[in-house]
């Protein structure tokens, strides 16, 4: 298993109130698979993803990614892991506003060990002709394409997407999902994606339903639906 998590727990304390956000999560995902995490707001999805991506740490439990127990990594090794192995795509793109499309991707490529070619990645997301534009000169869908290009240019082992279509209309969302499926095929990138939209689960190999910090259902899809055929 590429991702193998067992009994992951995480609490946050604000003032004197301690909230258990993850209550013993277990999940597995194979290399090259697409996993979808579904669940209501506040159920712990982003917390779980941030821990898998090395942005945050669990309090206890085992989190193995590609054979490495990441929860025990020292801070500098955790930074290497996050920078080297993980690509992130967020709902609101998070592009650097005063850098062009090409430069946004270049800053990541420059600090990567074995980056993909910038023009190849831009071509893959169909944004090569807009390389010199600034984020404010792009639509939301185009900005998300750039943020996917930025996430994959480092050739990450794992692409983590937190509501990647949350701010987009139906047609644009579906195009972004198609793009993620293409990235998965072309580069063999393992993808874990959070969504509120149950219809999106059809394109995944595995679907994890989260409620109040627990996985209440883990399903394996026998048939993977191409993103272009998903409707909602
Ligand atoms: N840094 C933090 N400090 C305190 N509480 C936090 C922190 N981060 C998250 N929480 C709490 O943990 C719970 C889960 O948050 P999380 O962001 O993981 O939910 P989510 O499932 O991603 O929700 P959404 O779908 O709205 O993004 C929430 O109740 C939230 O208030
Ligand atoms: Mg969230």
All structural domains of the chain, each given as residue ranges with its CATH number in brackets, are 3-197+204-224 (3.40.50.300)
**What is the pLDDT averaged over residues 125-145?**
96
Give this prediction's pTM: 0.95
What percent of the chain stands above pLDDT 90?
95
pLDDT of 28 reads 98
Give the three-state DSSP class for 102.
helix
Q: Is the CB of 13 under 6 A from ligand 1?
A: no
pLDDT of 37 reads 98
For residue 228, give every residue at least 6 positions away whose Cβ sits within 8 Å of its Cβ, in sequence order, or none.
174, 178
pLDDT of 56 reads 96
Report the residue among 23, 36, 39, 46 best suited for mutation to probe ligand 1: largest number of ligand atoms under 8 A from its CB: 46
Q: Is the CB of 47 under 6 A from ligand 1?
A: yes
Write down the mean pLDDT value for the chain.
96
pLDDT of 137 reads 98
Q: DSSP E strands: which ranges in 30-91?
A: 34-38, 60-65, 68-69, 86-90
Q: What's the 137 CA to ligand 1 centre distance in angstroms?
A: 32
- Going by pLDDT thresholds of 50, 70 and 90, the confidence category of residue 13 is very high
For 164-173, the pLDDT digits (tens) are 999 998 998 9
Q: What's the 192 CA to ligand 1 centre distance in angstroms?
A: 18
Enter the tokens of residue 172: 């644009």
- Going by pLDDT thresholds of 50, 70 and 90, the confidence category of residue 133 is very high
Pairing of strands 206-211, 3-14: unpaired
């Amino acid at each position: 298993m590429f991702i193998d998590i067992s009994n992951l727990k995480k609490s946050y304390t604000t003032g004197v109130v301690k909230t258990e956000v993850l209550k013993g999560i277990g999940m597995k995902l194979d290399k090259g698979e697409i996993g979808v995490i579904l669940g209501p707001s506040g159920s712990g999805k982003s917390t779980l993803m941030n821990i898998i991506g090395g942005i945050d740490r669990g309090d206890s439990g085992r989190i193995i990614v590609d054979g490495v127990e990441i929860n025990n990594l020292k801070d500098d090794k955790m930074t290497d892991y996050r920078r080297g192995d993980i690509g992130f795509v967020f709902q609101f793109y998070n592009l650097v506003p005063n850098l062009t499309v090409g430069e946004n991707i270049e800053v990541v490529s420059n600090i990567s060990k074995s980056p993909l070619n910038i023009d190849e990645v831009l071509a893959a997301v169909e944004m090569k002709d807009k390389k010199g534009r600034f984020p404010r000169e792009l639509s939301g869908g185009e900005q998300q394409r750039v943020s996917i290009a930025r996430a994959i240019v480092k050739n990450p082992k794992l692409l983590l997407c937190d509501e990647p279509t949350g701010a987009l209309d139906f047609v644009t969302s579906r195009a972004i999902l198609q793009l993620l499926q293409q990235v998965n095929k072309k580069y063999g990138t393992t993808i874990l994606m959070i969504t509120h939209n149950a219809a999106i689960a059809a394109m995944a190999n595995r679907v994890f339903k989260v409620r109040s910090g627990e996985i209440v259902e883990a399903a394996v899809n026998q048939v993977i639906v191409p993103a272009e055929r998903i409707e909602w």
